[in-house]
């Protein structure tokens, strides 16, 4: 089973990398970009029997730092 | 009682030798060097130091992989027993990732790697690690990091400030850290994480010796207590 974990910074957490990307986009002449937030995509290939709880546990224990990040788990159809 | 300490080395640590030399010179006693894959720590440790560097290449998040390594399970248990633990730079990142200290260390607000001497204010001069300083004293210690931007939510910041757990503060902004926090203690006071490198300021040849008092405080607090 292919699983995709999207890790994003929580609202209110300053994102210096997103800001630098935003600045670079403006430097390239792209207008109308209101905000940029950078995150991370982690693709897992796991046994079909892997439970939702186990996936959640993986995110909480390692893949995301819940002090600053949120995560979302997407399973490929 | 002989002072017994350990310096942990992760793959990618690069300040472990400096840390061991600082402890040897200032604290004396026996300094064990411990590899990240070791599941057990030497017996009878008074003090554990997590050094600076780029453990596991900073993969995933700085300190994230090291915090889940076998030796860190043992370090967490030791800290819970009351053993003194100091994390410097990457060691601070490891301590937050391991849940021994609150908050997180994010990319510097200015994006750039910052490598220079900085002025720090000693906020709490009563802790095991800082008793050799005077409250409000300004000291100079170098920093060298990319991810030193301390973040915690406002409630956490208010709590650690109220409990005197901010050990050091940058005298002026360095990396975007919340409330200019440079070093944080745990609630019990036996764990300190800090981004500046006290082990790089222990003799005149380093350009100053303001880091010495930290190691002197630890040995005085633990051996002569």
- Could you state, in order of their start, the residue ranges of all structural domains in chain B? 4-223
Q: Measured between alpha carbons, how far is B146 from B150 in angstroms, rounded to an integer?
A: 12
What is the per-residue pLDDT for B1?
Answer: 61
* CATH number of the domain enclosing A41: 3.30.1280.10
The conformation of residue B208, written as its DSSP 8-state character, comes to B
Range 16-75 of A in CB contact (< 8 A) with B? 16-17, 20, 61-63, 65, 67-68
What is the per-residue pLDDT for A10?
Answer: 94
Name the domain count of chain A.
1
Q: Measured between alpha carbons, how far is B81 from A2 in angstroms, rounded to an integer?
A: 42
The list of chain B residues with pLDDT below 50 reads none
Query: What's the predicted TM-score (pTM) here?
Result: 0.94
Render pLDDT for A13-69 as a digit per residue (tens, 0 to 9). Answer: 988 889 999 999 999 999 999 999 999 999 999 999 999 999 999 999 999 999 999
What is the per-residue pLDDT for B2?
Answer: 86
Which ipTM was obtained for this model?
0.86
- Indicate which residues of B carry an active-site annotation: 89, 197, 199
Question: In chain A, where does DSSP find H-type helix?
Answer: 16-27, 52-58
Spatial CA neighbour of B42 closest among B74, B18, B16, B10? B74
What is the per-residue pLDDT for A12?
Answer: 85
Top CATH class of B4-223 equals alpha beta
What is the per-residue pLDDT for B223?
Answer: 86
> Distance, in angstroms, between A16 CA and closest chain B CA?
5
Please indicate whether, in this complex, the C-beta atoms of B151 and A16 are within 8 angstroms of each other: no
Chain A hits for B104, Cβ within 8 Å:
65, 67-68
Interface test with A, best of B60, B68, B179, B193 (most A CBs within 10 A): B60
What residues make up the domain containing A64? 2-75
What is the per-residue pLDDT for B111?
Answer: 86
Residue environment code for B101-124, b if the CB has 16+ CB neighbours within 10 A, otherwise e: bbbbbbbbbeeeebeeebebbbbb
Interface test with A, best of B63, B97, B101, B104 (most A CBs within 10 A): B104
């Amino acid at each position: 089973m292919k699983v995709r974990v999207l890790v994003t910074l929580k609202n209110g957490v300053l994102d210096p990398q997103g800001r630098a990307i935003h600045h670079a986009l403006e430097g390239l002449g792209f207008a109308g970009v209101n905000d940029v937030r950078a995150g991370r995509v982690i693709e897992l290939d796991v046994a079909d029997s892997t439970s939702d709880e186990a996936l959640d546990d993986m995110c909480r224990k390692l893949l995301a730092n819940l002090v600053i990040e949120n995560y979302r788990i997407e399973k490929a159809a | 009682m002989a002072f017994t300490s350990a310096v942990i080395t992760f793959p990618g640590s690069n300040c472990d030798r400096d840390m061991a030399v600082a402890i040897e010179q200032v604290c004396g006693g026996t300094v064990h060097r411990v590899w990240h894959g070791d599941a057990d720590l030497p017996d009878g440790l008074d003090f554990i130091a997590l050094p600076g560097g780029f453990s596991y290449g900073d993969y995933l998040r700085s300190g994230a992989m090291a915090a889940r390594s076998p030796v860190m399970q043992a370090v967490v248990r030791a800290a819970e027993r009351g053993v003194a633990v100091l994390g410097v730079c990457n060691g601070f990142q490891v301590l937050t990732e391991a849940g021994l200290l609150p908050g997180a260390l994010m990319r510097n607000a200015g994006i750039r790697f910052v490598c220079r001497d900085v002025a720090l204010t000693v906020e709490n001069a009563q802790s095991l690690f800082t008793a050799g300083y005077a409250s409000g004293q300004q000291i100079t210690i170098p920093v060298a990091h990319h991810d030193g931007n301390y973040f915690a939510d406002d409630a956490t910041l208010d709590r650690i400030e109220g409990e005197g757990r901010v050990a050091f503060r940058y005298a002026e902004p360095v990396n975007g850290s919340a409330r200019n926090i440079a070093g944080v203690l745990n609630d019990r006071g036996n764990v300190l994480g800090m981004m500046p490198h006290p082990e790089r300021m222990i003799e005149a040849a380093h350009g100053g010796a303001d880091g010495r008092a930290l190691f002197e405080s630890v040995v005085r607090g633990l051996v002569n207590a």
